[in-house]
Each structure stands twice: as structure tokens, then as C-alpha cells.
Amino acid sequence: MKHLYHASALDPTMPVKSWWAETLPEVATYPALSGDVETEVAIIGGGYTGLSAAYHLARDHDIGVVVLERAHPGWGASGRNAGFCCMGSARLPWDRIAARFGIEEARRFWRSQKHSVELVAEVAAREGIDIEKAGGGEITLAHLPSRARSMREEASYLDATFGATHLFLSKPDLVERGLNSPRLYAGVLDPVGFGLNPWKYVNGLAAAARAAGARIHGGTEVLRWTRSSGRHELLTLAGRVRAAKVLIATAAYTPEDLHDDFGGRVLPALSSIVVTRPLTRDEIRLQGWSDTTPACDSRHLLHYFRLLPDGRFLFGGRGGLSAAPAMRARQLARIEAAFRCYFPAWSDAEITHRWSGLVCLAADLVPHVGAWEEQPGSYFALCYHGNGVAMGTWSGRAAARVIAGVSEKREDDERASFIRRPPPRFPLAFLRPLYLRGAYLKYGIDDVMP
């Protein structure tokens, strides 16, 4: 099937050599579909979104559901991310969300994001998933001294508008908290959020969905999607699924030709991660970085990093325009160089794991979850802009509720109006790689301007 990126980044037979995979080497298997099945709901994509939708459909609504995943559940972004369970699934700044859609809709969206973080903790606790919860909140760090002021102003705006409770951290505060880097000058702590092990979480979610009654097929790519007489038919290599309703939960791995009217609606972008060997206590003391709270810098093309529970350090970043193996290796080398620059005391610490994956962007820079009115029986949940651990879980549940036809029960379960429509098609969609190039160029310049 067609995709914007090099085939090797999409090949389901390629193992993802992430550190996380080593923390849980033995995982349950999900056999490929064989033969024809009828179901109420079919879900394409077995990441947090598809699995959360399946879990909630089966558990809360007793609806028959089949998940079709091209590789293993969690093979996409869900099993290989940095494990930041935090707010922030839109790229559109909050003041622009409020200006464009109105303050009430912005507040609704804020509440849903805050609740999404709680939902992950709730599901993990209920299902006994050992997600290795770590840190308290999420910290944004000024990568230039001049950014401290704008970060502080933004935090004050969010506190006043949405009732957030940010804490400003001066350079001495950072040092005192064990967040010391010569290249990071101040910080803002959002107490909402924590770190987790994404691979354990996604495998636990798959097990919980199956236990609740969902049928999950790994190694099962949807090759063609046809519709007639109000039924959908999904063709795979060794069987067919006929369903009344279909949920698209394929995020950045969505093939361009998955559906004849869904092409050109998402823009996948690369994100890359390196992980060190466990650092010694002395090394951690020498650098002065001992806090396990997930952190990122203030760049547009941001770097994100966490001290992991076993003393390894994870460092990631966005950027890179090609997923061809040589280009991915080059991007990983850039990420490693940025890591060494931020943490000079660890300049010799060996990198044991390197990998990359795709995050999913929308033309209007907000997530999308809902019923596709023009295509009866079709639903979508995607575009979390590199922040889908919490929002993918929440959106899967929101999609399950829309599919089941039940109303959103609590205030913080409500979808803002602007996320209910399908992702708009990019204008001149074939130019998406150029748009990304242009954006990266602009970000690159902005990021070095004082």
C-alpha cells in the first residue's frame, strides 16, 4: 500500500530495536486472521487508539469488535515512544485555539487532555498493568536564557485561563531538583503527567482488550476496504472481515490508499530516540540530573528526555525528512550529538539503543475523533502530534462511545467541537514533504533566535 515514507520504516517484519522491547521480551501472540468473519465493529490499527477503543467497546458496551493490526499490537508508535504520559496533543498554541474556536471549546479540550492522563493511570490500575509509572508531571526547559520569560508568560496564561497550576523553576531551582544541564536555563513544571513504559502499557492494553472479549489479529494488513448495502468489507491476505462499522486507528502509519477518500489527510513526521546504558550513581551525581520527571526543551523541533527507573537515560527529538535507513541513521547521530551537548558529564556513556518512528500531524494541528458523517459507518481517531500516549487512550474510548451511540458522561469526557470532524485534507496533498521541509527550516531558524 502507498505511504509517504521509505518502505523500510513501514515494514512490519522489521523488529523495532527499542530499549522497551528488552524490558518485556516475551509478549502474547495474536494470530493472523484466517477465513471470513462478521462483526459489529472492525478496527484498523492496534496501537493505543485501536486497543483502547476495542477494550472500551467490549468492556463497557458489550459490542463485538475485531482489531486488525498489520504487525504486532504496539508495533507502530505506541510500542516505541518515549513514554511521556502528558498533555499536549495539539500543535496549535492554546491562545490560538481559544481565538479560533472560542474559550469554552478551548476549555473543553483542556479538560479532556487533563483527564486523558488520569485515564491511563485508571486503566493501568484496573487491569493490573505494570506501566512503571515514574516522575511527577512534565517539565519544559528553556534552551536559551531568553526563552524563560515567554515560557513564564505562557504558563501564567494557562493558569489564569484553564486553572492549570504551573510552577516556574529558576536555574538554581533546577539544580536543586536534580535537573542540571549547562545548556538549560529555567523551567516550567506542569504537575499533570508522568513517565511510563510504553511497551508494557500497550501489551497490557491488548491483553485487557482480549480479556474483555475483543478479537485481535496481528500480522493482518487491511489491503482493501469496500462498502456495499450499508456493510463494510475489509480484505486481508487470508480472510475478510464484514462489519457494520469501521474505526480508522492507523495514525502516522495510515496508507494513503487505505480508503478512497482518506488520502492526503495526515502528515507523518519522524521522531528518533537514543538510550544509554545504565548510568552509575557517580555519573548521575556528576551531571546533577537525578529527577525522573519527563522533560523537554523549548525548541519548536523539540528534544525530549527522561532518566529511566534503572538509570538509563532516554533522549529523543523530532526532525529528519527521509526514513531511508541511511538518513534515519544520520538523524539519530544528530540526536546523539544533542544529547552529548546537553549532558557533557555523560559524553562517554555508551548508547545501547537507537530507533525511530512516525508521529501523526493534521493540517489544522489538532487531533480528530469522531464519526465520519459523509461515510456512514466510518469512524476515525488520530493526529495527536507526537503526544498520543494519553490522548490515544482517551480518543479510543471517545470513539467507542460514539460508535456505541452513548453520550459523553462527564464534563471532562466531552470532545471539543473542533476535534469531532475528520482531519481536513492538506491542500495540494502531494506537497506535504515540502510543507514539512519548509516548517523545519522555519523552526530551525526560530530555535536559534534569542
Ligand X SMILES: Cc1cc2nc3c(=O)[nH]c(=O)nc-3n(C[C@H](O)[C@H](O)[C@H](O)COP(=O)(O)OP(=O)(O)OC[C@H]3O[C@@H](n4cnc5c(N)ncnc54)[C@H](O)[C@@H]3O)c2cc1C
* Contacts to ligand X by CB under 6 A: 44-50, 68-71, 75-78, 80-84, 221-222, 249-253, 255, 258, 271, 273, 316, 356-359, 382, 384, 386-390, 392
Cβ nearer to ligand X, comparing 20 with 288: 20
CB 52 to ligand X: min, Å: 8
Helix (H) or strand (E) holding 49: helix 48-61
Cβ nearer to ligand X, comparing 363 with 389: 389
Cβ nearer to ligand X, comparing 44 with 308: 44
Q: Are 183 and 207 in contact (CB under 8 A)?
A: no
Cβ nearer to ligand X, comparing 106 with 251: 251
Residue 350 CB neighbour total at 10 angstroms: 7
Partners of 353 in the beta sheet?
275
Report the distance separating Cα 194 and Cα 139, nearest Å.
Answer: 10
CB 379 to ligand X: min, Å: 13
Bin 219: left if φ > 0, else alpha if -120 < ψ < 50, else beta: left
Cβ nearer to ligand X, comparing 81 with 180: 81
Cβ nearer to ligand X, comparing 148 with 371: 371
- What is the secondary structure of 187-248 as a DSSP string? EEEESS-EE--HHHHHHHHHHHHHHHT-EEESS----EEEEETTEEEEEETTEEEEEEEEEE
Spell 136-154 as b/e; 16+ CB within 10 A means b. bbbbbbbbbeebbeebeeb
CB 302 to ligand X: min, Å: 11
How far is Cα of residue 269 from the mean position of the Cα atoms in its chain?
12
Place of cell 484553564: 162
Cβ nearer to ligand X, comparing 51 with 174: 51
Cβ nearer to ligand X, comparing 135 with 392: 392
Q: How many helices (H) and strands (E) does the chain have?
A: 11, 18
Q: How far apart are the first and last CA of the chain?
A: 44
CB 122 to ligand X: min, Å: 16
Q: What's the per-residue H, E or C state across 235-272?
A: EECCEEEEEEEEEECCHHHCCCCCCCCCCCCCEEEEEE
Cβ nearer to ligand X, comparing 148 with 303: 303
CB 383 to ligand X: min, Å: 9
CB 366 to ligand X: min, Å: 13
CB 41 to ligand X: min, Å: 15
In three-state secondary structure terms, 185 is coil
Cβ nearer to ligand X, comparing 80 with 111: 80
CB 36 to ligand X: min, Å: 17
Q: What cell numbers appear for 364 in the block?
A: 489544522
CB 410 to ligand X: min, Å: 22
Angle at the Cα of 120 from the Cα atoms of 114 and 121, rounded to 5 degrees: 95
CB 291 to ligand X: min, Å: 16
Q: How would you list the strands of the sheet with 167-169, edge to edge?
A: 167-169, 187-190, 138-141, 295-297, 303-307, 313-318, 267-276, 351-361
Spell 307-322 as b/e; 16+ CB within 10 A means b. bbeebbbbbbbbbbee
